[in-house]
Chain A
Amino acid sequence: MRRFLQSDLFYSFRYSPVAIVSFVIIVFIILTAIFADLIAPNNPFDPASLNLMNGFTPPMQANDFTGETFLMGTDDQGRDLFSTILYGLRISLFVGVMAVMLAMLLGVMLGLVAGFVGGWIDSFIMRFADIQMTFPSILVAMLIYGVAKGILPPEVRYEMSIAVLIMSIGLSEWVPFARTVRGSTLVEKEKEYIIAAKMVGLSRYQIMIRHILPNVLSPVLVIATITFALAIIAEATLSFLGVGVPTTKPSLGTLIRIGQDFLFSGEWWILFFPAVTLLAFALSINLFGDWLRDTLNPKLK
């Protein structure tokens, strides 16, 4: 810990207002999502606690019928928006984290193999990546989502919808990981310490995992941060388009979709608060990721 406090990374962090502000916002949002049960005044996922009479209550105003007041108002079903956003964030974050992990695992593995083994395996993986990159990743995610839904039997479709969402976003974001890792692998594998490892009879697998992997991971962290923002937005987009998580357990994207229906009838808050939360979060991650990239590797600028 003391070593971290004295590191260049921390030093640069202390003098970067953008990094500090974005980091504080990220941590704040993540903490509120994790402790949603403790902070949220209501449980929006519990249908029994909902009162339809509370529907469309504006923020900070008493409801005409029940007299209850809500910090950010309520939606059409009388759900407290503040609580719903906290619980929705939790779903968005979970999907985002898992999707990034999947993309990272897949991308690092494929990039490592492509770079190290070379030959037709390399060509195959990288041409596939090129082709996938010509499609917008949200389109790829929708395609995978559609196929997965088609394959799954109808009775598990509902429970599996979050897993399917994670898979489709994860599979649509692996390419940047693979490209970066492949590039660094090509550089590392020519170094003399790899020859030394071959000379003591290590297998290709051992050389990849023990020697090359630790040396190609530093840019992965940066890509993971930026991909995380992309994944959160992809989840919101898919849910907004109605192919993501079910409306009974709304994520930020689902809330924005619901809010959009009522925007022109004057109930602006249903769209406004989830959208601002999403924007603040995604923007902070992006700014933080940019700062991290510039600090860890000034050459990438």
Chain B
Amino acid sequence: MSYVTASGLTRQYDLSDPWFIRMITGRKANVLTAVNQVSFSIEKGTTYALVGESGSGKSTIAKMLAGVLAPSQGSVQIDGHDFNNPRLDNANKKMLRQRVQMVFQSPYASLNPRWKIGDILLEPINAFNLIEDKATRQKRVIELLEQVGMSAHDQTKYPHEFSGGQRQRISIARALACHPELIICDEPTSALDVSVQAQVLNLLKDLQQENGLTYLFISHDLAVISTMANKIGVLKDGELVEEGETSGLLANPQHAYTKMLLAAAPDIGAYIS
């Protein structure tokens, strides 16, 4: 069985006015379907990439997989468990939370500006009661920092003392802190310079190999995705229009929208040949 299974995932946002305003003005209800009947699955230890332009519903899917947004319809199973299963008890919910972590797009908004790096990394460790002993906890923080190429004395600094690329590394370290199995990367490099992008992508790949991580990798950049993904899903206006193994999909796109995305990313040609 696949590690992640999303089936018929749908999310609607109600953008209509309150009912009494609608009564007076005669306006109709206005419901936006951000994600519509999306189904896919991710094998353990592989990377599934979602590609699509801005507003296509990528982040909405990410939040539903992360268990912070409830689907309007459909469900997500992670290792056989569902965040929105009403019968899921607190202990199991906690266990499930520990398995899924996220790396975000904005290096600025993803770290609390008032917290020191050390405290940011300790938060997941403390939240899941992973380490009782204080000295061991400190050691773990240093280990995490070194794992992402930062140094031990960075733990006493605040986020504003770091560059965008360094902050993404800290974000990755936080995601790793509770030994997750699935990491959702929502455009983790789109705010970074190209040279820094490559470093962060390589770090993610190394970590995946070392720890057998499963990734949901979100991007609007096919060039980035082609180097990361085993499988790609193409998202357009909230619907999954095409899906396939990376090499096959890039070499032989079926849907017009995929062809258009490919045409807009000229350096992909190098990858295919």
Name the segment of B39-47, B95-103, B206-214, B220-228 touching the other chain.
B95-103
Interface contact B114-A195, CB-CB below 8 Å: no
Interface contact A211-B93, CB-CB below 8 Å: no
Q: Check B94 for interface membership: any CB of A closer than 8 A.
A: yes
Interface contact B128-A195, CB-CB below 8 Å: no
Interface contact A214-B114, CB-CB below 8 Å: yes
Considering only residues 6-46 of chain B, those with a C-beta below 8 Å from chain A are: none
Least CB distance, A195 to chain B, in whole angstroms: 6
Selected A-B contacts with CB under 8 Å, 26 pairs: A192-B105, A192-B106, A192-B110, A193-B109, A195-B63, A195-B66, A195-B68, A195-B104, A196-B102, A196-B104, A197-B123, A198-B68, A199-B67, A199-B68, A199-B101, A199-B102, A200-B97, A200-B127, A200-B178, A201-B94, A201-B97, A201-B127, A201-B128, A202-B127, A211-B112, A215-B112
The CA-CA distance from A193 to B120 in the complex, in Å, is: 10
Interface contact A192-B104, CB-CB below 8 Å: yes
Partner of A195, one of B102, B124, B178: B102
Least CB distance, A99 to chain B, in whole angstroms: 28
- Residues in B neighbouring A197, C-beta threshold 8 A: 123
Least CB distance, B172 to chain A, in whole angstroms: 12
The CA-CA distance from A192 to B97 in the complex, in Å, is: 17
Main DSSP-derived SS at the A contact region: helix
Q: Check A191 for interface membership: any CB of B closer than 8 A.
A: yes
Interface contact A200-B110, CB-CB below 8 Å: no
- Residues in B neighbouring A215, C-beta threshold 8 A: 112-114
Nearest B residue (CB) for A191: B109
Q: Check B111 for interface membership: any CB of A closer than 8 A.
A: yes
- Residues in B neighbouring A193, C-beta threshold 8 A: 109-112
The CA-CA distance from A201 to B104 in the complex, in Å, is: 17
The CA-CA distance from A197 to B97 in the complex, in Å, is: 11
Q: Check B236 for interface membership: any CB of A closer than 8 A.
A: no
Least CB distance, A118 to chain B, in whole angstroms: 14
- Residues in B neighbouring A192, C-beta threshold 8 A: 104-106, 109-110
Binding site for A on B (CB under 8 A): 63, 66-68, 93-94, 97, 100-102, 104-106, 109-115, 123-124, 127-128, 174, 178
The CA-CA distance from A195 to B104 in the complex, in Å, is: 9
Interface contact B109-A200, CB-CB below 8 Å: no
The CA-CA distance from A67 to B192 in the complex, in Å, is: 83
The CA-CA distance from A30 to B123 in the complex, in Å, is: 42
- Residues in B neighbouring A200, C-beta threshold 8 A: 97, 123-124, 127-128, 178
Partner of B100, one of A191, A199, A202: A199
Least CB distance, A208 to chain B, in whole angstroms: 13
Nearest B residue (CB) for A201: B97
Binding site for B on A (CB under 8 A): 191-193, 195-202, 211, 214-215
Q: Are A196 and B97 also in contact (CB < 8 A) when A201-B127, A202-B127 are?
A: no
- Residues in B neighbouring A196, C-beta threshold 8 A: 102, 104, 110, 174
The CA-CA distance from A168 to B190 in the complex, in Å, is: 53
Least CB distance, A103 to chain B, in whole angstroms: 23
The CA-CA distance from A285 to B165 in the complex, in Å, is: 44
The CA-CA distance from A198 to B174 in the complex, in Å, is: 13
Q: Are A201 and B93 also in contact (CB < 8 A) when A195-B63, A195-B102, A196-B104 are?
A: yes
Least CB distance, A207 to chain B, in whole angstroms: 10
Least CB distance, B164 to chain A, in whole angstroms: 14
The CA-CA distance from A200 to B112 in the complex, in Å, is: 14
- Residues in A neighbouring B68, C-beta threshold 8 A: 195, 198-199
Least CB distance, B149 to chain A, in whole angstroms: 20
- Residues in A neighbouring B109, C-beta threshold 8 A: 191-193
- Residues in B neighbouring A202, C-beta threshold 8 A: 127
Least CB distance, A193 to chain B, in whole angstroms: 5
- Residues in A neighbouring B101, C-beta threshold 8 A: 199
Interface contact A199-B112, CB-CB below 8 Å: no
Nearest A residue (CB) for B109: A191
Least CB distance, B177 to chain A, in whole angstroms: 9
Least CB distance, B106 to chain A, in whole angstroms: 6
Interface contact B97-A199, CB-CB below 8 Å: yes
The CA-CA distance from A198 to B70 in the complex, in Å, is: 13
The CA-CA distance from A215 to B94 in the complex, in Å, is: 27
Least CB distance, B46 to chain A, in whole angstroms: 22
> Counting chain A CB atoms within 10 Å of each CB, which of B104, B112, B115, B124 scores highest?
B112
> Counting chain A CB atoms within 10 Å of each CB, which of B93, B102, B178 scores highest?
B102
